[in-house]
Amino acid sequence: MAYSTILASCSKERVAAFRSNQQESLRASRIISVSHILAYWIQLEPLHEILAEVIDGGEPLHRHFKHQFRDDMFHPAHQVPELHLRLKTSHEKVLQEHQVPEDDWYRVQIEQMIELLAWASTNGEGVISLLGAPYNEATYARTRKYPKLT
């Protein structure tokens, strides 16, 4: 079952305010949604490793917010430039070695991630990773508390 992954660029001040008071909005400056399978179906190294790190790595955002499979995660701003460089470099290597059409679903998703990491890096922000619901979001929404991402 494939889950969506919400990746959001947020300032350290907004994350600190949220960690102090969960009623606070994280006020993300940019939000994307990619498939969680990117972290596991692409087996080319080192692309596989860095995709898994961006999607599932980092530190827990807050102990009260978690998906049934893992905590909501946060990559602090000081880690984002390295994540961006590693993902961009790994992706470029794959594109040099393989014929990947510009409209390939995996390529489009990865390039959205690269753009988000570039944005966060340029703006000195961290990146939050939240797993979404699988198919029946209405049912899942009753069991999952989401941080406010306005």
Q: Tell me, what CATH number does 56's domain have?
A: 3.40.1760
Task: Return the higher-pLDDT residue of 122 and 139.
Answer: 122
| Domain annotation covers residue 149 | no
pLDDT tens-digit map of 23-68? 777 888 999 999 888 888 877 788 889 999 999 899 988 766 655 5
pLDDT tens-digit map of 68-110? 567 789 999 999 999 999 999 999 998 999 888 899 889 999 9
Largest Cα separation within the chain, whole Å, is 48
| Domain annotation covers residue 42 | yes
Rounded CA gap, 36 and 2, in Å?
6
Task: Return the higher-pLDDT residue of 62 and 119.
Answer: 119
| Domain annotation covers residue 108 | yes
DSSP designation for 27: -
Range of the domain at 24: 4-141
Number of domains comprising the chain = 1
Rounded CA gap, 5 and 131, in Å?
5
Phi first, then psi, for residue 73 (nearest 5°) are: -115, 160
| Domain annotation covers residue 150 | no
Kind of pairing between the strands at 4-10 and 126-131: antiparallel
> What is the secondary structure of 63-123 as a DSSP string?
TT-B-SSSB-EEE-GGGHHHHHHHHHHHHHHHHHHS---TT-HHHHHHHHHHHHHHHHHHT
pLDDT higher than threshold 90 for residue 135: no
| Domain annotation covers residue 147 | no
Rounded CA gap, 121 and 81, in Å?
5
| Domain annotation covers residue 56 | yes
